[in-house]
């Protein structure tokens, strides 16, 4: 572009340059020719030759240039391209230039993640892991179903065996003994116990059992009961509770004419003896002790006479100091022994136990004896 001769930079309203001197149309001024002349050093090479389409428009014909502010949408985030990796924009541009439409889910120019693809930084799920997860779920469901079936089967088996034992126990009660028997099987799994050949624990309760019409409460626990008859029960323990009326009706105390009175930890009984043809009445207070197949009554206090003639003797005759042996084995299965007695006013509780007790219908009906 030429410079005004006087060095000023005046422009007209249209933005063009106003020449100092009028120049005839179609002729360039001398100064313009001098200014635009190309020096030898600035000679245009063949590669830089200007084609007719690229002809430079004379300065006089330049239109005013409008300056536009950039839009915010034109600001794109700077893309950091690692060495040896082609930019995404170049890839999309190359695909567009080749006439191929961008693939579905391809990244947009704004840098959004492709549609249908995993977010950046996440690893795709291995199909093999998915199949393994499904197998574990199926296996877990199968285990739960099998466990539920086993639990139901165990409950049904337990109920059936308990009822069978209860019916068998009631039918095997000794003569004169009647009542309902409730049976419960202890332990975790009845099916597992059946496989071992014995039941860990069987509890039998007969709270309203009667012996010759006299009510008693019987509670028995058997440990290690064989599944089939012919074996032995490892250990049996139980207790029998009776009130004073039942005790007097069922138990015979030698030398005692009247009834037994149950006190707090002691029993009282009455009797009489003859001295020189005279009948002398007495009443005894005794402590009770378990002695295997029998119960021993040891006198601790004696009163002679009746009514106003009653006399307490500290130095009573040896006859009245002798312990009384009461047989109780005839009320228990053969092999069972009494190991404890608890006395409360009007009520007595006797505990017993047995080891290696024969397990059969006939054996359970056989009662013990006192030697």
Q: Rounded mean pLDDT of 203-220?
A: 93
Residue 301 scores a pLDDT above 90: no
Which pLDDT belongs to residue 191?
A: 92
Answer with the residue of higher pLDDT: 299 or 4.
299
> Would you say residue 262 lies in a domain?
yes
pTM of the model: 0.59
| Mean confidence (pLDDT) of the chain | 72
306 is a domain residue: yes
Contacts of 110 (CB under 8 A, 6+ apart): 76
- Identify the weakest region by mean pLDDT among 49-63, 101-115, 189-203: 101-115
Q: Is residue 312 part of a domain?
A: yes
Give the span between the Cα atoms of 214 and 207, in whole angstroms. Answer: 12
- Say which residue, 301 or 155, is predicted with more confidence: 155
Query: CA nearest 226: which of 181, 196, 267?
Result: 196
In a domain, 185, yes or no: no
Predicted local confidence at residue 188, as pLDDT:
86
Query: Whose CA is closest to 348, among 237, 292, 268?
Result: 268
29 pLDDT higher than 60: no
Whole-angstrom Cα distance, residue 285 to residue 167? 43
Q: Decide which of 92 and 226 is more confident.
A: 226
Segments forming the whole domain that contains residue 354? 243-363
Query: Which residue in 293, 303, 297, 214 sits closest to 260, CA to CA?
Result: 297
Average pLDDT of 257-269? 87
Per-residue pLDDT reduced to its tens digit, 310-355:
555 554 555 566 788 888 888 888 889 999 999 999 999 999 999 9
pLDDT-derived band of residue 199, with 50, 70 and 90 as boundaries?
very high
Three-state SS for the chain is CCCCCCCCCCECCCCCECCCCCCCCCCCCHHHHHHHCCCHHHCCCCCCCCCHHHCCCCHHHCCCCCCCCCCHHHCCCCCCCCCCCCCHHHHHHHHHHCCCCCCCCCCCCCCCCCCCCCCCCCCCCCHHHHHHHHHHHHHHHHHHHHHHHHHHHHHHHHHHHHHHHHHHHHHCCCCCEECCCEEEECCCCHHHHHHHCEEEEEEEEEEEEEECCEEEEEEEEEEEEECCCCCEEEEEEEEEEEEHHHHHHHCCCCCCCCCCEECCCEEEEEEEEEECCEEEEEEEEEEEEEEECEEEEEEEEEEECCHHHCEECCCCCHHHHCCEEEECHHHCECCCEEEEEEEECCEEEEEEEEEEEECCHHHHHCECCCC
Distances (CA, A) of 249 to 79, 246, 258, 323: 109, 5, 11, 21
Residue at 67 is within a domain: no
Q: What percent of the chain has pLDDT over 70?
A: 60
The pLDDT value given to residue 72: 53
Predicted pLDDT of residue 187 = 87
Q: Is the pLDDT of residue 235 over 90?
A: yes
Higher pLDDT, 95 or 218: 218
Nearest CA to 341 among 350, 354, 332, 353? 350
**Res 366: pLDDT:** 79
Counting the structural domains of the chain, the total is 1
Does a structural domain hold residue 259?
Answer: yes
Residue 248 has pLDDT above 70, yes or no: yes
345 located within any domain:
yes
Per-residue pLDDT at 70 exceeds 80: no
What confidence score (pLDDT) does residue 71 get? 53
Q: Which residue has the higher pLDDT, 240 or 366?
A: 240
Mean pLDDT lowest among 6-10, 220-224, 350-354: 6-10
pLDDT digits (tens, 9 = 90+) for 158-168: 999 999 989 98
φ/ψ of 120, rounded to 5, equals: -60, 140
pLDDT value of position 7: 43
Instruction: Decide which of 36 and 226 is more confident.
Output: 226
Has residue 321 been placed in a domain? yes
């Amino acid at each position: 572009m030429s410079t005004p001769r006087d060095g000023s930079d005046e422009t007209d309203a249209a933005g063009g340059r106003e020449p100092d001197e009028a120049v005839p149309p179609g002729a360039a001024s001398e100064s313009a020719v001098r200014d635009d002349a190309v020096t030898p050093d600035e000679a245009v090479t063949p590669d830089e030759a200007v084609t007719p389409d690229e002809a430079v428009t004379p300065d006089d014909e330049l239109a005013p240039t409008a300056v536009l502010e950039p839009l915010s949408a034109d600001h794109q985030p700077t893309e950091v391209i690692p060495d040896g990796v082609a930019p995404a924009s170049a890839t999309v541009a190359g695909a567009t230039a080749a006439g191929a439409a961008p693939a579905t889910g391809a990244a947009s120019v704004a840098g959004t993640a492709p549609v249908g693809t995993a977010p950046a930084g996440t690893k795709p799920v291995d199909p093999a892991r998915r199949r393994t997860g499904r197998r574990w779920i199926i296996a877990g469901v199968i285990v739960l179903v099998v466990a539920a079936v086993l639990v139901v089967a165990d409950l049904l088996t337990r109920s059936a065996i308990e009822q069978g034992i209860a019916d068998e126990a009631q039918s095997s009660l000794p003569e004169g003994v009647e009542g309902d028997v409730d049976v419960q099987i202890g332990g975790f799994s009845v099916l597992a116990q059946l496989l071992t050949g014995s039941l860990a624990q069987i509890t039998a309760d007969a709270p309203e059992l009667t012996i010759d019409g006299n009510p008693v409460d019987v509670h028995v626990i058997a440990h290690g009961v064989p599944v089939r008859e012919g074996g032995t029960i490892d250990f049996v323990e139980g207790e029998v509770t009776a009130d004073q009326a039942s005790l007097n009706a069922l138990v015979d105390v030698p030398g005692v004419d009247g009834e037994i009175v149950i006190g707090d930890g002691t029993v009282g009984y009455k009797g009489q003896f003859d001295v020189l043809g005279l009948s002398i009445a007495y009443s005894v207070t005794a402590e009770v002790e378990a002695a295997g197949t029998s119960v021993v009554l040891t006198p601790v206090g004696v009163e002679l006479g009746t009514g106003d003639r009653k006399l307490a003797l500290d130095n009573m005759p040896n006859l009245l100091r002798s312990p009384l042996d009461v047989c109780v084995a005839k009320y228990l299965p053969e092999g069972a022994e009494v190991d404890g007695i608890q006395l409360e006013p009007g009520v007595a509780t006797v505990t017993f136990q047995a080891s290696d007790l024969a397990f059969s219908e006939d054996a359970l009906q056989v009662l013990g004896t006192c030697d």
